[in-house]
Amino acid sequence: MMRVETSLKEAMTSIEGALGVALVDYTSGMALGTLGGGKDLDLAVAAAGNTDVIRAKVRTMEMLDIKEGIEDMLITLGSQYHLIRLLNGRGGNGLFLYLVLEKGKANLAMARHQLKRIEANLEL
């Protein structure tokens, strides 16, 4: 089991092309932990904004009567991937991992696999 800080470090070091990562509470929009980012990538602002994305998708799924849970969401930009992975286990309800990847360096399939592994080992 890994604590939040260790999990964020693991994401930044084990996922090729990682630019920033955050653990976010989507009930409040607050980042519970961040690592990476910078002047061109404000993870606190991104956390709040992506909270709105998740809320909108959850509402849409409810209106469509879709009973499945969201595993992850991908936003593709010109030079970046933004990967949002909702946490489901051990008290993770209401939380998501947010990972920003440099598109030219990242392997998206491997990043999704690594983020799933990190989620499984995250201790909340």
Residues 28-45: pLDDT tens digits? 989 999 999 888 899 999
Q: Cα dist. 5→10, 26, 33, 39, 58 in Å?
A: 9, 19, 7, 21, 28
* Domain extent listing, the chain: 4-121
pLDDT for 1 equals 58
Closest CA to 111 of 20, 5, 1, 50: 20
Confidence of residue 92 (pLDDT cuts 50, 70, 90): low
Residues 55-87: pLDDT tens digits? 999 899 999 999 888 899 999 999 999 999 998
pLDDT for 108 equals 95
pLDDT at 24 > cutoff 80: yes
What are the backbone angles phi and psi of residue 64, rounded to the nearest 5°?
-85, 0
pLDDT (mean) for 103-111: 96
pLDDT for 102 equals 96
Return the CATH superfamily for domain 4-121: Dynein light chain 2a, cytoplasmic (3.30.450.30)
First-to-final CA distance of the chain: 9
Closest CA to 106 of 35, 18, 43, 38: 18
pLDDT for 90 equals 55
Please report the beta strands in 8-120, taking only residues with DSSP state E, as ranges in sequence order: 18-25, 30-36, 72-76, 80-86, 95-102
pLDDT at 112 > cutoff 70: yes
